[in-house]
């Protein structure tokens, strides 16, 4: 697995510089795909302990590492090892954090160095933040006393320290007035600690008064939180039932006990409204953590989480690897969301690893969802998690009235995708001055373009996927690898002009149809393609919440957590879309997504509707959605999974073998298959060419390992890897424990 590890070892056993005296050796985990920590010598006088963040030489480079646990194997003379170059002035990673990293590495079969790297991706944060220069009144009077100068001196005369601009602002003068006074010697320079990133949240700032089921739910959670030991609670409540209010209670309690809190949210970058809501409750925003943060801010959040200045972080899945000073609670909101699964280098599910982090460090974890995953439901039923139900919406908000539109009977007009029923419903909603949301989980204009004359289909040159037309940009794009070309006028195959046809709809195409029917309505398309990125998207979402659009057409981005008070109609353009693929979770995922999208409607007292366009109105998912009977649906899913010994009743792992040629990938995959040991209760399926057979020019084969619930999957895979042929040339093997994707 670890391609570059062999050549890294060679560089290690060089003699240390002669002058320093090496007293002992310590293991250091470096952020590389190395299977274990490397040994380094500690120069005399250098103080390191397990968890210390250090800089060490590695081959010709200097890299960041962490002093790890366990003594050295012994026998190696410290004088023969290279020495640690420096220790950063940074609190050491706690024992719990180190154990967590080791645990994740063992579970996901990833090199521990790569897991540690996820915790250390902010090199500039290892040194303390520089002090900021400030001013303090030194006494004396300037030669000339202007009214502005008097105001400044009034402000500063109590002897407190100010920043130059802060003092100017407070006194209502320009900074040049301050500069004038500095020249006169009225102020002395002082150095101030850098300001905290966010103010400390106050658990009593605006405590909500909870009653009825919310109170009971909060009390149950508080009982768990007060024990201050590992437990998992699942808050299962319909959209708008007040789940957030309830878990805010758990956060308040944890803050009162002086512990830090992590809130995991999918698509954190888009949930500006969540941050404001938190501020309304706690008087200060939580620190944010996600990939769209400016590097400086990231460094500050990391540093202040480690030093304990930041008390609450709201973040995307990668926030799980922040080395908090004293974490006491993790909330996983929308715990069923597929965005919690990382499929890059270290494949992990942040929901599951959050539970692990709670167990390792012995604190409570709270999972939250309107449509919990089957895995969490089963854990609730078996008593491993305590489930807390919130069955109704808060206040006078009612769930939307949901209906299926049988597309075989209510066919759209030629070339269209909206049934007459849906068009009529949109019309009525626009008339009432309320908002409609049309949901289609497909970006762009059309998912496939073909030539009407020769039948040529536009495919990505380096992936086995069709190119998606983005008409607004005039491009055909690959959604796998980002490849893009200008939409041609003629077919590249037969050369015929003007005979290319767009097949199927994307959100842009739905917008075109809507604009044809409702030319005067304010229509907006929301997807991750939006120009201007996350900032722009946040603004658009705010504008919609304020009622500045009549019809919103969006992908799943609009489904997540937003509160649109005027939204009273939700139309699902293609409710069957997610059911087509062979994924064992297809029905569950579709149910979750459709529940979430329809849950956008009727968040205030207004009466609301949902229309789901489908060609399979009898499908159990469709029936479950309109009947509102989630439990029957889940029971059926759970029975199915149990019968097929699928998760959580069985275990799965994927092995994805890729290479530059199909032959190399296939040969290696077959070699792995032959290396599989014979173990009762575990079987290997494949290899088979992956449904996505080609991605970024790499050919892919898959093996699926299936085991009974209590089988030792990791042991099996380790044995298999040890016997398998070594990865050579362009071959790469990726393991995916508990896979979510089978493409
Ligand atoms: P969920 O997280 O289950 O979707 P929320 O916590 O977002 O539900 O609550 C839905 C709406 O109801 C929000 O606007 C929230 O402010 C309001 N709400 C819920 N519970 C209360 C309460 N106890 N007091 C005041 N407002 C509440
Ligand atoms: Zn591609």
For residue 596, the domain's CATH number is: 3.40.50.300
Buried b (16+ CB within 10 A) or exposed e, 161-197: bbbbebbbeebebeeebbebbeeeebbeeeeeeeeeb
- 693 CA to middle of ligand 2, Å? 11
The tokens for 377 are 């439901």
Structure-token pair, residue 126? 């290892």
Q: How far is the CA of 66 from the centre of ligand 2 (A)?
A: 38
Please tell me the predicted confidence (pLDDT) of residue 360: 97
* Residue 250 neighbours by CB under 8 Å, 6+ apart: 218, 221, 222, 224, 225, 329, 331, 364, 366
3-state secondary structure 605-636: CCCCEEEEEECCCCCHHHHHHHHCCHHHHHHH
Q: Is residue 450 part of a domain?
A: no
Residue carrying the six token digits 């985990």: 29
Of the residues 125, 142, 177, the one at which a domain ends? 125
Pairing assessment for the beta strands 61-67 and 22-29 based on DSSP bridges:
antiparallel
Tokens encoding 137: 């009144």
Instruction: Verify whether ligand 1 is closer than 6 Å to residue 673 (CB atom).
Output: no
For the sheet containing 475-477, what is the strand order?
Answer: 468-470, 475-477, 484-486
Cβ–ligand 1 contact at 380 (below 6 Å): no
Residue 369 CB–ligand 1 contact under 6 Å: no
Distance (angstroms) between ligand 1 centre and the Cα of 147 equals 51
Atom of ligand 1 nearest to the CA of 333: 2
Q: Is 239 in the pocket of ligand 1 (CB under 6 A)?
A: yes
Axis-axis angle for helices 95-108, 350-361 (nearest 10) = 140
Cα Rg of the chain (Å, integer): 29
Pair 21, 164 in one domain: no
Tell the residue nearest (CA) to atom 25 of ligand 1: 208
Compute the distance from residue 110 Cα to the ligand 1 centre, in Å: 40
568 lines ligand 1 (CB under 6 A): no
Ligand 1 pocket residue status of 117, Cβ below 6 Å: no
From the CA of 391, the nearest ligand is 1
Model confidence, pTM = 0.90
Does 210 contact ligand 1 (Cβ within 6 A)?
A: yes
**CB of 333 shorter than 6 A to ligand 1:** no
Number of structural domains, the chain?
Answer: 5
CB of 460 within 8 A of CB of 478?
yes
The answer as to whether 119 is a domain residue is yes
Query: What CA–CA distances, in Å, run from 301 to 132, 197, 306, 310, 323?
Result: 18, 7, 9, 7, 11
Question: 113: Cβ below 6 Å to ligand 1?
Answer: no
CATH number of the domain bearing residue 722: 3.30.70.600
For residue 181, how many C-alpha atoms fall within 13 Å in the half-sphere facing its CB?
31
370 in the same domain as 313: yes
Dihedral angle of Cα 594, 600, 601, 604, to the nearest 10 degrees = 150
Residues with CB under 5 A from ligand 2 (ion): 460, 462-463, 478, 480-481, 483
Closest residue CA from atom 15 of ligand 1: 242
Q: From the alpha carbon of 241, which atom of ligand 1 is closest?
A: 3
The DSSP line for 352-417 is: HHHHHHHHHHT-EEEEEESS--HHHHHHHHTTSSEEEEE-S-STT--PPEEEEEETTTSPPPTT--
Range of the domain at 696: 650-737
Q: How far, in Å, is the centroid of ligand 1 from the Cα of 394?
A: 6
Nearest ligand to the CA of 245 is 1
* Mutation test residue for ligand 1: of 215, 242, 271, the one with most atoms within 8 Å of CB: 242
For residue 464, being part of any structural domain is answered with: no
Q: Whats the size of the chain, residue-wise? A: 743
How many Å apart are CA 508 and CA 469, to the nearest integer?
10
Q: Does 530 share its domain with 630?
A: yes
Closest CA to 538 of 267, 264, 266, 272: 272
Cα distance between residue 573 and residue 596, in whole Å: 15
Domain identity same for 68 and 171: no
Domain end marker among 74, 99, 125: 125
Ligand of minimum distance to the alpha carbon of 599: 1
Say what the pLDDT of residue 19 is. Answer: 59
Cα–Cα separations (whole angstroms), residue 740 to 316, 337, 646, 653, 736: 18, 11, 12, 10, 9
How far is ligand 1, taken at its centre, from the CA of residue 334, in Å?
Answer: 15
Claim to verify: residue 267 and residue 162 sit in the same structural domain: no
Q: Does some domain include residue 457? A: no
Strand order of the β-sheet with 287-289 is 287-289, 312-315, 260-264, 327-333, 364-369, 231-237, 386-390
Q: How far apart are CA 743 and CA 732, in angstroms?
A: 17
> Does residue 182 sit in the same domain as residue 222?
no
Separation between Cα atoms, residue 117 and residue 66, nearest integer Å: 10
Give the SS3 label for residue 104: helix
Q: Which pLDDT value is given to residue 243?
A: 95
Are 669 and 631 contained in the same domain? no
Counts of helices then strands in the chain (DSSP H, E): 20, 32
Ligand nearest to the CA of 390: 1
**Which residues have a Cβ under 8 Å from the Cβ of 306 and sit 6 or more positions away?**
90, 91, 125, 322, 323, 324, 325
Cα separation, 441 vs 482, in Å, equals 18
Task: Say if residue 622 is in the same domain as residue 720.
Answer: no
Task: Give the per-residue pLDDT at 205.
Answer: 96
- Taking each helix axis from N to C terminus, what angle separates 212-227 and 243-256, rounded to the nearest 10 degrees? 30
In this structure, is residue 346 part of a structural domain?
A: yes
Ligand 2 centroid to Cα of residue 481, in Å, is 4
* DSSP structure class, residue 466: B
E-assigned strand segments in 474-607: 475-477, 484-486, 500-503, 523-526, 551-554, 567-572
- Residue 83 shares a structural domain with residue 141: no
Q: For residue 536, how far is its CA from the centre of ligand 1 (angstroms)?
A: 26
Phi-psi region of 21 (alpha: psi -120 to 50; beta: other; left: phi over 0): beta
Whether residue 716 sits in one domain with residue 695: yes
Three-state SS string over 40-95 comes to EEEECCCCCCCCCEEEEEECCEEEEEEECCCCCCCCCCHHHCCECCEECCCCCCCH
Look up tokens 């008409």; give the residue: 471
Those residues of the chain that have pLDDT short of 70 are 1-20, 72-75, 268-270, 561
CA angle, residues 449, 451, 456, in degrees to nearest 5: 85
HSE (CB half, 13 Å, CA atoms) of 533?
5
Is any ligand 1 atom within 6 A of the Cβ of residue 394?
A: yes
Q: How far is the CA of 460 from the centre of ligand 2 (A)?
A: 5
State if residue 614 touches ligand 1 by the CB under 6 angstroms criterion. Answer: no
Q: Mark which of 91, 106, 125 sits at the end of a domain.
A: 125
E strands, 265-358, where?
Answer: 287-289, 312-315, 327-333, 341-342, 348-349
Return d(Cα 534, Cα 559) in angstroms, integer. Answer: 16
Q: Are 390 and 403 within one domain?
A: no
pLDDT for 561: 64
Among all bound ligands, the one having the nearest atom to the CA of 600 is 1
Residue 627 belongs to some domain of the structure: yes
438 φ/ψ angles, rounded to the nearest 5 degrees: -110, 125
Could you count the other beta carbons within 10 Å of the beta carbon of residue 611? 28
Structure tokens at 463: 């992936």
Tokens of 589: 């995922």
How far is it, in rounded angstroms, from Cα 263 to Cα 512? Answer: 39
Residue 350 included in any domain: yes
Residue 7 CA to ligand 1 center (angstroms) comes to: 57
Q: Indicate if 522 and 603 belong to the same structural domain.
A: yes
CA of 3 to the centre of ligand 1 (A): 51
Q: What sign does the dihedral 659-663-665-671 (CA atoms) show?
A: negative
Distance (angstroms) between ligand 1 centre and the Cα of 541 equals: 19
Structure tokens, 513 = 């149809």
Ligand number with the minimum distance to the CA of 213:
1
Of the listed ligands, the closest to the CA of 485 is: 2
User: Is 491 part of any domain?
Assistant: no
């Amino acid at each position: 697995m670890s391609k570059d590890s062999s050549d890294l070892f060679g560089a290690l056993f060089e003699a240390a510089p002669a002058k320093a005296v090496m007293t002992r050796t310590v293991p250091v985990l470096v952020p590389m795909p190395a299977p274990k920590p490397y040994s380094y010598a500690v120069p005399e006088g250098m103080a390191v302990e397990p968890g210390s963040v250090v800089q060490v030489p590695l081959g010709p480079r200097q890299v960041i590492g962490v002093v790890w646990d366990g003594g050295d194997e012994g026998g190696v003379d410290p004088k023969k090892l290279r020495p640690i170059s420096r220790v950063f002035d940074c609190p050491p990673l706690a024992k719990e954090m180190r154990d967590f990293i080791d645990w994740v590495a063992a579970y996901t079969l990833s090199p521990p160095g790569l897991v540690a790297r996820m915790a250390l991706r902010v090199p500039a944060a290892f040194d303390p933040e520089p002090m900021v220069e400030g001013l303090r009144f030194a006494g004396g009077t300037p030669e000339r006393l202007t009214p502005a100068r008097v105001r400044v001196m009034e402000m500063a005369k109590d002897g407190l320290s100010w920043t130059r601009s802060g003092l100017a602002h407070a006194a209502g003068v320009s900074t040049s007035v301050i500069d004038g006074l500095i020249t006169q010697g009225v102020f002395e320079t002082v150095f101030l600690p850098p300001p905290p990133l966010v103010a400390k949240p106050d658990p009593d700032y605006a405590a909500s008064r909870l009653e009825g089921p919310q109170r009971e739910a909060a009390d149950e959670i508080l009982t768990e939180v007060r024990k201050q030991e590992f437990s998992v609670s699942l808050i299962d409540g319909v959209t708008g039932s007040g789940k957030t209010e309830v878990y805010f209670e758990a956060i308040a309690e944890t803050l009162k006990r002086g512990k830090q809190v992590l809130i995991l949210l999918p698509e954190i970058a888009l949930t500006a409204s969540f941050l404001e809501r938190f501020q309304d409750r706690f008087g200060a925003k939580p620190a944010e953590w996600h990939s769209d943060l400016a590097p400086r801010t990231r460094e500050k959040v990391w540093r202040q989480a480690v030093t304990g200045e930041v008390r609450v972080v709201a973040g995307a899945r990668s926030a799980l690897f922040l080395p908090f000073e004293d974490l006491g609670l993790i909330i996983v909101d929308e715990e069923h969301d597929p965005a919690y699964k990382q499929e890059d280098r270290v494949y992990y599910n942040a929901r599951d690893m959050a539970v692990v982090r709670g167990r390792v460090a012995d604190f409570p974890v709270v999972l939250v969802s309107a449509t919990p995953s089957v895995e969490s439901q089963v854990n609730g039923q078996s008593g491993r998690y305590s489930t807390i139900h919130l069955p109704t919406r808060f206040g006078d908000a009612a769930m939307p009235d949901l209906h299926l539109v049988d597309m075989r009977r209510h066919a759209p007009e030629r070339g269209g995708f909206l049934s007459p029923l849906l068009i009529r419903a949109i019309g009525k909603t626009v008339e009432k001055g309320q908002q409609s949301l049309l949901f289609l989980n497909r970006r762009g204009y059309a998912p496939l373009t073909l030539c009407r004359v020769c039948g040529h289909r536009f495919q990505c040159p380096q992936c086995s996927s069709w190119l998606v037309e983005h008409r607004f940009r005039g491009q055909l794009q690959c959604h796998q690898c980002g490849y893009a070309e200008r939409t041609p006028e003629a077919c590249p195959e037969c050369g015929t002009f003007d005979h290319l046809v767009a097949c199927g709809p994307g959100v842009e195409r739905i917008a075109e149809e809507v604009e044809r029917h409702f030319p005067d309505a304010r229509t907006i398309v929301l997807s991750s393609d939006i120009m201007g990125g996350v900032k722009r998207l946040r603004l658009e979402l705010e504008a919609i919440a304020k009622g500045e659009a009549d019809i919103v057409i969006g992908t799943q981005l609009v489904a997540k957590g937003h509160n649109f008070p005027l939204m009273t109609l939700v139309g699902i353009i293609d409710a069957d879309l997610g059911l087509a693929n062979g994924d064992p979770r297809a029905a569950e995922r579709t149910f979750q997504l459709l529940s979430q999208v329809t849950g956008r409607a009727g968040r205030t007292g207004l009466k609301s509707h949902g229309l789901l366009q489908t060609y399979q109105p009898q499908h159990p998912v469709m029936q479950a959605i309109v009947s509102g009977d989630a439990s029957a649906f889940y029971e059926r899913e759970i029975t199915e999974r149990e019968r097929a010994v699928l998760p959580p009743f069985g275990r799965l792992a994927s092995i994805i073998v890729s290479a530059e040629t199909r032959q190399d990938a296939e040969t290696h995959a077959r070699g792995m298959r032959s290396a599989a040991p014979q173990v009762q209760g575990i079987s290997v399926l494949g290899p088979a060419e992956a449904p996505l057979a080609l991605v970024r020019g790499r050919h892919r084969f898959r093996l699926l390992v299936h085991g009974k619930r209590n089988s030792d999957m990791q042991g099996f895979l380790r044995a298999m890897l040890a016997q398998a042929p070594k990865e050579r040339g362009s071959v790469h093997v990726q393991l995916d424990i508990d896979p979510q994707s089978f493409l």
